[in-house]
Amino acid sequence: MSTVQRIAALVAFVLLWTTLGAGTSAPPAAAQDPNRLVVGIGSIPNTPDPHLDSTANALPAYATLFEKLVATDGKGGFRGVLARSWRQVDPTTWEFVLHSGVRFHNGMSLTAEDVKFTIERILDPATRSPWLGRISAIERVEVTGPLTFRIVTRGPFAPLLQGLTVVDILPAAYFQERGPAGFAAAPVGTGPFVFGEWHRQDRMVVRANLGYWRGRPRLDEVVFRAIPEDSTRVAGLETGELDVGVLVPPEQVDRLKARGLQLGTVNLGQGMVVNLRSNVPGPLQQRKVRQALNYAVDKEAILQSILRGHGRILNGQVVGPDAFGHNPNLKPYPYDLSRARRLLAEAGLGGGFEVTFHGTIGRYTKDKEIEELVIGQLAEIGVRARLEIVEGGVYIQRHIARTLGPLWIWAWQYFPAMDADLPLNFFTCAGVGNFFCSRDFDELFAQSRREMDPVRRRALLQRVALLVREEAPVIFLVQTPGIYAAQKRVKGFAWRPDYLMDLHRVEVGPR
């Protein structure tokens, strides 16, 4: 053989060997087994440790393995999950009683010590839990009995239960014995499914917890597949490789329906708006101008022509009726160009003005189309907005650093706690990345945070909402739709506004 031939043979061998040899170890996870549900979602948890990933797509997978003390009830209130009951002893002390007979997947019984350990772990900055901020008002947890404990907060902190809706309870003894890495390799919770496999950026497999304290799930196995590309997810639904797929683009709905899939839409706990920077000199400092922009945008057109009827128009507040603190008496700003022009003229800006509009592509459902439509409509009243697209990775940071805008698209997320307190916190003068500042707002909002009586707190948040509508610190658009599709044989699947899925009761029929 000549040198050339020898080298060619070597190259061919190396290529063949790597092609056939590497990486192919796992069994196929296609939707073959009648009792297995394959869920296609944009990403899976970054780690099986639920305290270390707060991304929305991670929440449904974590919820199969772990449980919280409380959950929202979908009507602005709370229901106990691991907590059987709770009551407030004084403005800073809450007393909880756990359900008895709850067992972790390793057979250990749930006790108050596990709750104390869990909360302290999140509170420890060394853990680097992204959930820390939600419960950082907690000063300490006192165990008062095997199933009873007290949570003491630094000062009155009304949204404590909201904070607890993200806290997955872990088994203290097991965790301490295995350490963080050992726990992440074989996580144990109290949820309806037990851990099976986790392959980074690829899939997570969970299996039925036969001894689940509320009865075994009907499915034997659930596979969460990370599929970042929307078109691929839709293709996977069409080929039957996926049983369920979430975040289906609105324009694909008819196509999937024609293929015989079931389609559903949930209005996610996420209010899409255009933020208006009014705490720096410029036209937006005038309330009339901000209101004019709201009158100039046709929300119905966004809903019908871009989202094809999926989603819900925000009625002059950043949360939908599924949130605690939603004000049912508010109405959306009507689409009224002459009123918008009049308000601009009254503000001395009858000739309109030029402004930068920062947008994204692919960060939110149909964001680019919505940005272009809004800009076109603002042009009708002489507001000439220049669209500048900002790369997704730096969007939040520029928001926090206050270098977006004066106009920029944004979605205020309020799941899983489903409470208006979450987004409104950013509208305070001292809020992270704040862009609006009103003393009246700050006073009223602070009052709501100190108010421990839910009825009075709701009324206060509703007053805050009214004030926000009048002040118009944003252009209110829509509540983002979460469109999902499921194969015909899947029974009982629904996606919830808080991004979770009740997989406990889902069934899969024969193919």
Partner 1 sequence: MAGYVARRLLDAALGVLGVTTIAFLAIRLSGDPVALLITEYATPEDIARVRRTLGLDQPLWVQYARFLADALRGDFGESLRFIKPAAPLVYSAMPATVQLAAAALLVALAVALPLGMVAGVRRGSAIDGVAIVLATLGQSMPYFWLGILLIMVFAVRLQWLPAFGSESWRHLILPAVTLAMTPMARIARIVRSGMVEVLTQDYIRTAHAKGLRASAVVVRHAMPNLAIPLVTLLALDFGTLLGGAVVTETIFAWPGVGRLVVQAIQSRDYPVVQAVVFYLATAVVLINLTLDVIYARLDPRVRYG
Q: How far is the CB of 21 from partner 1 (least distance, A)?
A: 8
Q: How far is the CB of 134 from partner 1 (least distance, A)?
A: 6
Q: Which is nearer to partner 1, 143 or 185 (CB)?
A: 185
* Cβ within 8 Å of residue 392, ≥6 positions away: 360, 361, 362, 363
Q: How far is the CB of 91 from partner 1 (least distance, A)?
A: 19
Which residue do the tokens 């394959």 mark? 38
Calpha distance 239→375 (Å, rounded):
38
Q: Which is nearer to partner 1, 48 or 192 (CB)?
A: 48
Q: How far is the CB of 39 from partner 1 (least distance, A)?
A: 13
Q: Which is nearer to partner 1, 197 or 502 (CB)?
A: 197
Q: Which is nearer to partner 1, 26 or 280 (CB)?
A: 26
| Among 65, 43, 57, 41, residue whose Cα is nearest residue 168 | 65
Q: How far is the CB of 447 from partner 1 (least distance, A)?
A: 18
End-to-end CA distance of the chain: 56
Q: Which is nearer to partner 1, 80 or 156 (CB)?
A: 156
| Among 92, 186, 189, 180, residue whose Cα is nearest residue 141 | 92
Calpha distance 445→471 (Å, rounded):
14
Q: Which is nearer to partner 1, 223 or 472 (CB)?
A: 223
Which residue do the tokens 């118009």 mark? 472
Q: Which is nearer to partner 1, 116 or 399 (CB)?
A: 399
Q: How far is the CB of 47 from partner 1 (least distance, A)?
A: 6
Q: What is the maximum span of the chain, computed from C-alpha positions, in angstroms?
A: 89
Q: Which is nearer to partner 1, 195 or 212 (CB)?
A: 195
Q: Cβ distance 111 to 100 under 8 Å?
A: no
Distances (CA, A) of 201 to 43, 98, 259, 501: 7, 35, 29, 20
Q: How far is the CB of 492 from partner 1 (least distance, A)?
A: 26
Q: Which is nearer to partner 1, 283 or 473 (CB)?
A: 473
Which residue pairs, CB below 8 angstroms and at least 24 apart, start in 135-143? 135/160, 135/163, 135/164, 135/166, 135/167, 137/163, 138/163, 139/92, 141/115, 141/116, 142/116, 143/112, 143/113, 143/116
Q: How far is the CB of 271 from partner 1 (least distance, A)?
A: 13
| Among 478, 473, 297, residue whose Cα is nearest residue 383 | 297
Beta bridge partners of 276: 407
* Residue 313 region by backbone torsions, left for phi larger than 0, else alpha for psi between -120 and 50, else beta: beta
Q: Cβ distance 110 to 190 under 8 Å?
A: yes
* Cβ within 8 Å of residue 463, ≥6 positions away: 444
Distances (CA, A) of 478 to 31, 246, 270, 333: 35, 19, 9, 12
Q: How far is the CB of 10 from partner 1 (least distance, A)?
A: 10
Q: How far is the CB of 426 from partner 1 (least distance, A)?
A: 7
Q: How far is the CB of 130 from partner 1 (least distance, A)?
A: 5
* Residue 362 region by backbone torsions, left for phi larger than 0, else alpha for psi between -120 and 50, else beta: left
Q: Which is nearer to partner 1, 163 or 192 (CB)?
A: 163
Which residue do the tokens 């699947």 mark? 493
Contact residues toward partner 1 (CB under 8 A) are 2-4, 7-8, 12, 14-16, 18-24, 26-30, 43, 46-47, 49, 52-54, 125, 128, 130-134, 136, 163, 199-202, 225-229, 231-232, 235-236, 238-239, 241, 391-394, 396-398, 400-401, 422-423, 425-426, 430, 432
DSSP code of residue 503: G
Q: How far is the CB of 4 from partner 1 (least distance, A)?
A: 5
Q: Which is nearer to partner 1, 241 or 471 (CB)?
A: 241
Q: Cβ distance 220 to 208 under 8 Å?
A: yes
Q: Which is nearer to partner 1, 122 or 340 (CB)?
A: 122
| Among 272, 434, 402, 291, residue whose Cα is nearest residue 445 | 434
| Among 390, 358, 382, 354, residue whose Cα is nearest residue 371 | 358
